[in-house]
């Protein structure tokens, strides 16, 4: 009933399944890859609202096992971590579900979120610092802007990989395997 590795789900949660997916491929350890996919799927389910929008776990109380989850102060870095994890899940499986979820997570920045607030600011190229009950925080800090840019870069890179059929992770795994022999 609680497949997470800790009794609380806090900050940049997508990094854990992402790390499992990367490590599981490089070792190789299929059970580790499967755990990464299960953890990521569960994490996305926990952060899906009744309108099928990504509603990140907020840092105003987090989400404890058996307790309630905080809906606000949602952070762009959390959306970025999910984008990266979904991209790696797609690379592992080539399952279109993960590409759909990657785009779904990216849409959080563009207004598909609990307050329907656009977090990415197209006039400045920056990104708002968080999502509160009354909308997006108007500050545009470096961490948030980088989270947006890394998310955008991640999907663009994955689309390029799909078009060419050459996946960066495959090249890295081949290099690692060659170095071991």
Taking each helix axis as running N to C, give the angle between helix 76-93 and helix 96-106, from 0 to 180 degrees, rounded to the nearest 10: 170
- Binned at pLDDT 50, 70 and 90, residue 156 comes out as very high
Record the pTM: 0.93
> Which pair of tokens denotes residue 94?
């080539």
Q: Report cis status (omega within 30 of 0) of the bond before 28.
A: yes
Q: How far apart are CA 35 and CA 92, in angstroms?
A: 12
Does residue 171 register a pLDDT over 90? Answer: no
Give me the pLDDT at residue 19, please: 98
Q: What is the mean pLDDT of residues 141-156?
A: 98
Q: What is the pLDDT of residues 84-125, one digit of tens each?
A: 999 999 999 999 999 999 999 999 999 999 999 999 999 999
Q: Hey, how many other C-beta atoms are within 10 angstroms of the C-beta on 3?
A: 10
Provide CB contacts within 8 A for 128, sequence distance 6+. 76, 117, 119, 120, 121, 136, 137, 138, 139, 140, 144
What does residue 137 show for φ and ψ, rounded to 5 degrees? -65, 135
Give me the pLDDT at residue 70, please: 96
- Binned at pLDDT 50, 70 and 90, residue 181 comes out as low
- Binned at pLDDT 50, 70 and 90, residue 177 comes out as low
Q: What is the pLDDT of residues 6-60, one digit of tens each?
A: 999 999 999 999 999 999 999 999 999 999 999 999 999 999 999 999 999 999 9
> Which pair of tokens denotes residue 114?
């609990």
- Binned at pLDDT 50, 70 and 90, residue 126 comes out as very high
Residues 30, 34, 39: CA angle, nearest 5 degrees: 150
What residues does 9 pair with on adjacent strands?
63
- Binned at pLDDT 50, 70 and 90, residue 178 comes out as confident
């Amino acid at each position: 009933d609680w497949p997470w590795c800790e009794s609380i789900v806090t900050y940049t949660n997508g990094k854990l399944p992402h790390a499992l997916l990367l490590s599981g491929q490089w070792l190789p350890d299929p059970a580790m890859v499967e755990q990464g996919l299960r953890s990521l799927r569960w994490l996305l389910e926990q952060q899906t609202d009744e309108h099928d929008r990504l509603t990140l776990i907020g840092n105003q109380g987090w989400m404890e096992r058996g307790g309630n989850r905080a809906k606000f102060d949602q952070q762009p870095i959390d959306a970025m971590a999910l984008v990266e994890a979904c991209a790696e899940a797609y690379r592992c499986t080539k399952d279109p579900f993960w590409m759909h979820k990657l785009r779904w997570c990216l849409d959080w920045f563009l207004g598909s979120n609990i307050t329907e607030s656009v977090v990415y600011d197209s006039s400045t190229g920056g990104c708002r610092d968080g999502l509160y009950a009354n909308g997006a925080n108007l500050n545009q800090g470096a961490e948030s802007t980088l989270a947006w840019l890394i998310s955008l870069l991640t999907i663009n890179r994955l689309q390029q990989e799909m078009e060419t059929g050459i996946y960066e992770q495959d090249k890295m795994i081949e290099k690692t395997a060659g170095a071991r022999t």
